[in-house]
């Protein structure tokens, strides 16, 4: 780990020198690129330099602790305790900072929630999940925009697709993809029998055109009249759009807007996000293929969390973490839960970082 830190510090000094050169300053695009790289590693270098200062002071304190002067030894022992604690804190922080940053962390996301097994109960739960994430987004100061929604008319949701925009959205939401399970007694259940239903959540980093190149010849675009609940026509013009990506078979439909142009733009936004996520999953699966655990690959087949109403309990099965604050969680208070998941996956990534005993 410390070899990597030394190399990063050298890179930082070299970048700092380059940014002061006339040659780089005359190329605005390259200057911005190198400035971003510098900013990304600055905190890591600052902490490493602080660590080196503390390490030197610790070595000096250890020498004084071996002094023949009793008063000096006592002072040195007190200083050793403080310096050792600070060094250990810095080592823990450096281990986190040295983990390669996910290039998607600062991106906005496309959120897709679909009712799974359980009929009306699954649809009601899907609606509750969407409200939960919407309230969490509000707490974070993020902007949420519903792209499309298919509701059941009784408060449930068959499918909802929304974009969430804000600072670091993907970094907070990226581990939410998977199967979410609810256990409760439905209002319509006369015998009081506990039901289990599921909904699936997909969180995809929003893809820009530079991230995913979509060739027009690979698209089949169909237009049709929008329809409302029950199938009755609510639009006599062909404003709704269905886009099929022929190579992958991915199909996206959009009919919320009255304008065909706006529906097409929204559909393309969703399509790019889905294609980008497919590529990410391929990469993740290739990396995780030979590892013991495959968690974090975003595979929908895995049950990741249970929401048990009778016990007022939320359990994340990936990290064996339970909260007995179900109402708070469903009201958007997700910070403790998401932070615990993020910490777990950071620890998993740390296993790939060489440590010094």
**Annotated domain spans of the chain:** 2-97, 109-208+296-349, 216-279
Query: Topology of 216-279 in CATH?
Result: Double Stranded RNA Binding Domain (3.30.160)
Q: Residue 192 burial by CB count (10 A; 0-12/13-18/19+): exposed, middle or buried? A: exposed
pTM of full prediction above 0.75: no
Give the separation between CA 309 and CA 146, rounded to whole angstroms.
Answer: 27
**CATH 3.10.20.30 holds for 109-208+296-349:** no
Are the CB atoms for 147 and 266 separated by under 8 Å? yes
| Strand 109-115 versus strand 303-308 pairing type | unpaired
| 109-208+296-349 and 216-279 share one fold | no
Q: Whats the size of the chain, residue-wise? A: 357
Alpha helices in the chain (DSSP H): 2-19, 22-25, 28-65, 70-97, 120-140, 169-173, 260-288, 326-330, 335-350
* Residues paired with 161 in a beta bridge: 112, 148
pLDDT of the residue at 315:
96
Q: Which two tokens stand for residue 265?
A: 């733009």
Tens of pLDDT along the chain (357 residues) come to 778 888 888 988 898 888 888 888 888 888 888 888 888 888 888 998 999 998 888 888 888 877 777 777 778 788 888 888 888 888 888 877 777 777 788 889 989 999 988 888 999 999 999 999 999 999 999 999 988 888 887 778 999 989 999 988 999 999 999 999 999 988 666 567 888 899 999 898 887 655 677 778 878 887 777 665 444 445 556 678 888 888 888 888 888 777 778 888 888 888 888 888 887 777 666 544 533 333 333 333 468 999 999 999 999 999 999 999 999 999 999 999 999 998 888 877 777 654 433
pLDDT of the residue at 165:
93
Query: If you ran DSSP here, which 8-state letter would residue 227 be given?
Result: B
What are phi and psi for residue 13, nearest 5 degrees?
-65, -40
Write the CA distances from 234 to 103, 208, 237, 241, 286, integer angstroms. Answer: 42, 32, 9, 15, 46
Write the CA distances from 22 to 13, 37, 38, 126, integer angstroms. Answer: 17, 19, 17, 57
Buried (b) or exposed (e) across 58-94, using 16+ Cβ within 10 A?
beebeeebeeeeeeeeeebeebbeebeebbeebbebb
Give the separation between CA 112 and CA 256, rounded to whole angstroms.
Answer: 16
Helical pair 2-19 and 28-65, crossing angle rounded to 10 deg: 140
Which residue reads 């905190």 in tokens? 43
């Amino acid at each position: 780990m410390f070899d990597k830190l030394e190399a990063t510090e050298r890179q930082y000094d070299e970048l700092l020198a380059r940014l002061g050169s006339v040659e780089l300053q005359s190329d605005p695009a390259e200057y911005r690129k190198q400035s971003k790289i510098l900013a990304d590693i600055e905190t890591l270098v600052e902490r490493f330099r602080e660590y080196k200062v503390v390490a030197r002071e610790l070595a000096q304190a250890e020498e004084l602790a071996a002094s023949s002067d009793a008063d000096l030894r006592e002072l040195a022992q007190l200083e050793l305790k403080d310096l050792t604690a600070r060094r250990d804190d810095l080592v823990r922080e450096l281990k986190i900072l040295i983990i390669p940053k996910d290039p998607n962390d600062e991106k906005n996301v496309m959120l897709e929630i679909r009712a799974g097994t359980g009929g009306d109960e699954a649809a009601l739960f899907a609606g509750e999940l969407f409200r939960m994430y919407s309230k969490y987004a509000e707490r974070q100061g993020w902007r949420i925009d519903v792209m499309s929604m298919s509701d059941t008319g009784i408060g449930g949701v068959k499918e909802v697709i929304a974009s969430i925009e804000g600072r670091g959205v993907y970094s907070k939401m990226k581990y939410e993809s998977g199967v979410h399970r609810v256990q409760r007694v439905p209002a319509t259940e006369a015998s009081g029998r506990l039901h289990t239903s599921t909904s699936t959540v997909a969180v995809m980093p929003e893809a820009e055109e530079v991230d995913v190149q979509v060739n027009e010849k690979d698209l089949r675009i169909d237009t049709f009249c929008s329809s409302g609940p029950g199938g009755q026509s609510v639009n006599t013009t062909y404003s709704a759009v269905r886009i099929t990506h022929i190579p992958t078979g991915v199909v996206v439909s959009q009919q919320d807007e009255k304008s065909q142009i706006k529906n097409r733009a929204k559909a393309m936004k969703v399509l790019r996000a889905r294609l980008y996520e497919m590529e990410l999953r391929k990469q993740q699966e290739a990396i995780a293929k030979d590892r013991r655990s495959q968690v974090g690959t975003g595979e929908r087949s895995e049950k990741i969390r249970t929401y048990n109403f009778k016990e007022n309990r939320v359990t994340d099965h990936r990290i064996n973490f339970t909260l007995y604050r179900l109402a708070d969680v469903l009201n958007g208070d997700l910070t403790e839960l998401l932070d615990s998941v993020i910490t777990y996956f950071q620890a998993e990534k740390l296993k790939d970082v060489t440590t010094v005993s």
